[in-house]
Structure 1
């Protein structure tokens, strides 16, 4: 029996939880979404890409602003949820496509705007995914990247990645802001605005949303209880396991080649 690929694992993790991500308060709102909408502005002629759309919340914020949104994800059930919710909200300009970030099924220079939110830390090959987003953007187009980031310190990085992987085997890695800047520049983006936020993760809903096995939940709680002062204070670990992480929004502009 062949072992599943990483993309198979991503699909199997998220497909059964599609509705949970639609209704997740953490994903449905946030200052990053508000800032994204402000940066894009009203552009009725624009075509936008939402890469790794998940429950579709970036798509739903883009749809009233642009002419068309193409929502891409590995999970067919997730895409069905997004399409159904778009219909319910009256967004007739949303199209869904099944795709990995590393292999976007679109011609070059197809989009005026490209966004990705809480997705890149699951990508098998982030440089390849960023290169595809850059290829898909028109010259001068704008991309907005939103994700959880590591503080960039080895101690804190190790703890964050450990908790993430125990919760969800499709997790690859949260990058630091410096790593994001370097990766975007290598992909051909001129890095613009960088904004950081703090995001509190309520523990019970965080593990329930991913159906984390009880043994892994117990391991996460054990690690949290054994964490040192620096870790406990930085991530504001609470008695019930809830904790707070750093997130970011980075704007990239597709440089002319």
Structure 2
């Protein structure tokens, strides 16, 4: 189901909070990304669903130029503010939908996307588009919300994510990522599942999650099987989460 309007609504009214987000702007995560991608000053980079611009700004410091795209104008406005504050001048900001990019084939040395794939309504088409605009030998980097393999975690954790954010589509487990990637013209260089935490109530507050939905989320967590709770410890001030990180080259 196309969730474009829901994404624009949810993130348009909260763009400022996302510019200040310690999750999206985590220096350790961004440094790890730079180390994996190893960009150089000849690289032409595309940042897909840039949000408040954290990824684009980090890459712009090491690349020739960056094109940062998003479907939410308010997010692009915040990303521009952030780039100016950082003294970055080699980023072009454009309104684009990843499912139908107005970009020619093979334009970019690097295509990157962080914390966005779980919002894509047609993930297979979006990934094909990202590969299409990548040059042969170019690098694809993705970091996104994920879940531990298994029917229970794949179902319940995605239910939790949807209760928190009505524009959420799906957080893919490593098992499902393998299925998504198998038909793409890619060679996997790096893939890992990283454990992290959502800090509460910040994670709820950033998306304006209702009190009833917050309570429902904790009911779901409390009702997890003992096996699943091992992978998803939680408390009043945190919830365990996972991220899938991918670096691949285009064949």
Q: TM-score, normalised by structure 2?
A: 0.94
Q: Is the 8 A contact 2:109 2:139 kept in 1?
A: yes
**CA distance in 1: counterparts of 2:12 and 2:24, whole angstroms:** 16
Choose 189-198 or 61-70, whichever is displaced more.
189-198
> Which of 230, 235, 238 pairs up with 1:242?
238
Q: Is the 8 A contact 1:43 1:66 kept in 2?
A: yes
Q: Is the 8 A contact 1:32 1:249 kept in 2?
A: no
What residue in structure 1 maps to residue 222 of structure 2?
225
Task: Tell me the SS of whatever aligns to 2:88.
Answer: coil
Q: Is the 8 A contact 1:224 1:241 kept in 2?
A: no
**CA distance in 2: counterparts of 1:199 and 1:152, whole angstroms:** 16
**CA distance in 1: counterparts of 2:219 and 2:188, whole angstroms:** 39
Task: Tell me the SS of whatever aligns to 1:66.
Answer: coil
Q: TM-score, normalised by structure 1?
A: 0.92
What residue in structure 2 maps to residue 174 of structure 1?
171
Q: CA RMSD in A?
A: 1.6
Choose 112-121 or 148-157, whichever is displaced more.
148-157
> Which of 70, 79, 87 pairs up with 2:84?
87
User: How much does 1:224 deviate?
Assistant: 2.5
Q: Mind listing any 5+ residue stretches in structure 2 that lack a counterpart?
A: none
User: How much does 1:254 deviate?
Assistant: 1.0
What residue in structure 1 maps to residue 210 of structure 2?
213
**CA distance in 2: counterparts of 1:23 and 1:10, whole angstroms:** 19
Question: How many positions carry a matched residue from both structures?
Answer: 251
Q: Mind listing any 5+ residue stretches in structure 1 that lack a counterpart?
A: none
Choose 119-128 or 172-181, whichever is displaced more.
172-181
1:50 matches 2:64: no
Q: Is the 8 A contact 1:40 1:65 kept in 2?
A: no
1:123 matches 2:141: no
**CA distance in 2: counterparts of 1:157 and 1:126, whole angstroms:** 16
**CA distance in 2: counterparts of 1:220 and 1:40, whole angstroms:** 36
Give deviations 1:149-173, integer Å, cap 9, x for gaps: 1211111222201110111111111
**CA distance in 1: counterparts of 2:39 and 2:151, whole angstroms:** 41
User: How much does 1:42 deviate?
Assistant: 4.5
User: How much does 1:241 deviate?
Assistant: 5.5
What residue in structure 1 maps to residue 12 of structure 2?
15
User: How much does 1:31 deviate?
Assistant: 4.1
Choose 220-229 or 38-47, whichever is displaced more.
220-229
**CA distance in 2: counterparts of 1:27 and 1:123, whole angstroms:** 18
Provide closer, same or farther for how the CA distance between residues 42 and 253 of structure 1 changes in structure 2, counting only shifts above 3 A.
closer
Give deviations 1:174-223, integer Å, cap 9, x for gaps: 11113223322312212121133111101201110111122212221232
Q: Is the 8 A contact 2:174 2:193 kept in 1?
A: no
